[in-house]
Amino acid sequence: MRVNFTVNGRPQEADDVWEGESLLYVLRERLGLPGSKNACEQGECGSCTVRLDGVPVCSCLVAAGQAEGREVVTVEGLAEYARERAGGTPAQDSGLAPIQQAFLDAGAVQCGFCTPGLLVAADEMLERNPTPSDADIREALSGNLCRCTGYEKIMDAVRLAAARQSEGV
Ligand code: FES
Ligand code: FES
């Protein structure tokens, strides 16, 4: 089957998609977007998190056909997505989304395998809830596993991004 959808603001078409093929597979193997990671392929780790019509989902659990006509944002499109939200103003000189910059500044990246999914999930939470409590952050990221950091630096990064967002930095 053919799937037409929008990925990071651009119309995309994937041909010869078989029925059970996941959105994650299509993104990585057909569209050349390897940012979303494939760690468990069972909806357990969150490394494949993308936004589907704005909602964070595990793309390994979404059949590609379900994305027909819908909008997907992956980690590759996060900076552009954040820029649009900020009214087109580049939020960071680096060209990164604010949440990406905060992860770097807080030292929240080690092997990096969990990072794309965490970034997408954290960015969605900050859009929805600009002043999250620690409990809000933990809840929003509860589906994203990290085997390296012990999560504290990740918490720091999200707190930092929230503080910068509220200061308009
Ligand atoms: S690869 Fe999708 S949740 Fe782990
Ligand atoms: S940084 Fe390695 S799994 Fe999170």
Distance CA 116, CA 163 (A): 21
Q: Over the stretch 62-97, which tens digit does the pLDDT of each residue have?
A: 999 999 999 999 999 999 999 998 887 765 667 899
CA distances from 50 to 33, 38, 54 (A): 12, 12, 9
| pLDDT at 41 exceeding the cut of 70 | yes
23-48 mean pLDDT: 97
Mean pLDDT of the chain: 95
* 167 pLDDT higher than 90: no
Q: What is the pLDDT of residue 90?
A: 61
Mutate to test the pocket of ligand 2, among 45, 147, 158 (most ligand atoms within 8 A of CB): 147
The band of 151, judged by pLDDT with boundaries at 50, 70 and 90, is very high
For the chain, list the domains and their CATH numbers.
3-76 (3.10.20.30), 78-167 (1.10.150.120)
Q: Which residue is closest in CA terms to ligand 2's atom 2? A: 111
111 CA: nearest ligand 2 atom: 2
Is pLDDT above 80 for 110? yes
Q: Which residues line ligand 2 (CB under 6 A)?
A: 109-114, 146-149
- With a pLDDT cut of 90, the percent of the chain lying above it is 90
Q: Does residue 169 register a pLDDT over 80?
A: no
The best mutation among 44, 100, 113 to test binding of ligand 2, ranked by most ligand atoms within 8 Å of the C-beta, falls on 113
